[in-house]
Amino acid sequence: MLSYFSVILPELFVLTMACGILLLDVFLAGKYRRVVLALTQLTLVGAFILTAQMWHMQTGLHFSGHFLFDHLALVIKMGAYILTFFVFTYAFEYLNQMKLPVGEFYVLGLFSLLGIMVLASAGSLLTVYLGLELLSLPLYALVALSRDSKLASEAAMKYFVMGALASGLLLYGISLLYGMTGELGLFDVARGIMAQSGYSQTIAGLGVVFLIVGIAFKFGAVPFHMWIPDVYSGATTAATLFIASSSKLAAFALAARLLFDTVAPLFVEWQSMVLILAVLSVVIGNVVALAQTNIRRLLGYSTIGHMGFVFFAFAAGSLPAGLFYITVYGLMAVASFGAIIIINHAGHEIEDIGDLKGLNKTHPWFAFLILLLMFSLAGVPPLVGFYAKFIVLRELIDVGLTSFAIIGVLMSVVGAFYYLRIVKTMYFDEAQDTSLTINASRVTEVIFSLNGLAFLALGLFPGWLLALCFTIV
């Protein structure tokens, strides 16, 4: 019996710990909040160890084909654990300062993480949808965690309505594929599509359209992107941390299971649709970001531009390049919003780019870390953000999509402008006052430093991460 359930030990462990922490938080007083944090982080460490030990197990389908165990699932899960560890660390002081419920945040975060794990190992259309909803429903609650904030409530409502619409469209696409093939297993559907012709192929193509709409929403690709700047600026920063980083790995898992496992026989049909979304995303995301002065909205539109590069990787048929890019972006996103939490201006979290004036004079180490972050987001060598873009562009050129690679390069130059504007503000603009402070414990400062230095370390030694991502093929 143990061997039968061995492939889902990480999921069982996270589920058990999440339920245990939920019950424990009910009986713990406020002064024991650090116990909840410690148990949550131990859950992530334990899940990482359990998952890493499964690397050499034989891949395959389990539980009547509903659970797929492969290296892609393992890499996505381990990446999600690491990103969520950073999220929970940065969020702790913020939740205490804003007097938000700590236990609820971590429990909801763990259940969303469980959704990512289920989605990563989805072997059927049914498991895909179950994992997606298990991820999404706690996220809606996380966005609305600050009950007294009108902005958070508005952001949560927008996110919920748009998310429900996208899930409905995705489910309709799934129903079309199921109705045409009579199968739920991802690979069974793929074989059913190859066996169809004529009218049935047209129905399959229509189903793919709805699948791509749902996937594009989860990524925040144009034209399904308008929720991103609103949610990023309206939600609590702790919730935005999770949405901007860990949930992007879930979106990647969704795209990998549906596009590359389920409708791979229709690659030629969906490639052109994905290319259009990629071009629109990199152009609109980067151009609109130029006009932003609010940091969170700027990072929101920046996210849209970066998701365009992930779609370029899909269009090139390179799942490993997309996995490398989304993993690197997750590390950069969690550091971006971690910096917003850590750095305070006049007792409040920074809102505008101008709030960072003079940071180099008051806190030179943190200014340097943010400089590394901005250069990596801009794609400046030798930082890891450069290699992420380089790998995707190389894959585009290798399959003959050189013109799209040129568009990616040009938009990267545009994006570099607003990233360098933040660096210029920190290093060359004079502050009107000296109210910039660092609102973090020593442990959080060390974690943020490791997060920032990781961009340089991974940029100098990217080989092991690239090799890990390319093991999925």
Give the tens place of pLDDT for each residue, 43-58: 999 999 999 998 888 8
* Domain assignment present for 53: no
Please write the tens of the pLDDT for every residue from 379-391: 888 899 999 999 9
Asked if residue 270 belongs to a domain, the reply is yes
Altogether, the residues listed in the chain come to a count of: 473
Q: Is 431 helix (H, G, I), strand (E, B) or coil?
A: coil
Among 373, 336, 136, 116, CA closest to 246: 116
pLDDT at 135: 92
Q: Predicted confidence band at 432 (pLDDT cuts at 50, 70, 90)?
A: low
Residue 303 lies in a domain: yes
Extract the tokens encoding 338. Answer: 């971690």
Peptide bond between residue 382 and the one before it cis (omega within 30 degrees of 0) = yes
Q: pLDDT at residue 346 above 60?
A: no
Residue 463 has pLDDT above 90, yes or no: no
Query: Does 190 fall in a domain?
Result: no
**What rounded mean pLDDT belongs to the chain?**
88
Q: What are phi and psi of 293, to 5 degrees?
A: -110, -25
What pLDDT is attached to residue 163? 87
- Residue 441, Ramachandran bin (φ over 0: left; ψ between -120 and 50: alpha; else beta): beta
In this predicted model, which residue has the larger pLDDT, 472 or 459?
459
Q: Encoding tokens for residue 9?
A: 């030990």
pLDDT-above-90 percentage for the chain: 46
Residue located via tokens 């060598």: 381
Sheet holding 348-349, edge to edge: 348-349, 343-345, 436-438
How many Cβ atoms are within 10 Å of 100's Cβ, its own excluded? 20
Looking at the predicted structure, is the pLDDT value of residue 322 above 90? yes
pLDDT at 192: 87
* CB count in 10 Å sphere of residue 171: 18
> How is residue 290 annotated by DSSP?
T
pLDDT at res. 215? 92
Tens of pLDDT, residue by residue over 193-239, are 887 766 667 788 888 999 999 999 989 888 888 888 888 888 888 88
Q: Does pLDDT of 473 surpass 90?
A: no
Q: Are 72 and 319 in contact (CB under 8 A)?
A: yes
For residue 135, which amino acid is it? L
Average pLDDT of span 326-348: 85
Average pLDDT over residues 179-184: 86
For residue 339, tell me if it sits in a domain.
yes
pLDDT of residue 144: 85
What integer pLDDT is reported at residue 227 of this predicted model? 86
Q: Is residue 114 part of a domain?
A: no
pLDDT of 1 higher than 50: no
Which of these, 216, 414, 384, 382, lies nearest to 308 by C-alpha position? 216
Q: Which domain holds residue 458?
A: 266-473
395, part of any domain: yes
Phi, psi of 185 (to 5 degrees): -65, 140
CB 225 within 8 A of CB 285: yes
Question: Measured between alpha carbons, how far is residue 163 from residues 119, 158, 214 in Å?
Answer: 16, 8, 9
Q: Which residues of 140-156 are buried (b: 16+ CB within 10 A; e: fewer)?
A: bbbbbbbeebeebbbbb
pLDDT band at 110 (very low <50, low <70, confident <90, very high): very high
Instruction: Look at residue 79 and tell me whether its pLDDT is greater than 90.
Output: yes
Q: Which two tokens stand for residue 196?
A: 């169809």
In a domain, 424, yes or no: yes
319 neighbors 403 (Cβ within 8 angstroms): no
Structural domain count, the chain = 1
Query: Which token pair is 385?
Result: 């953000």
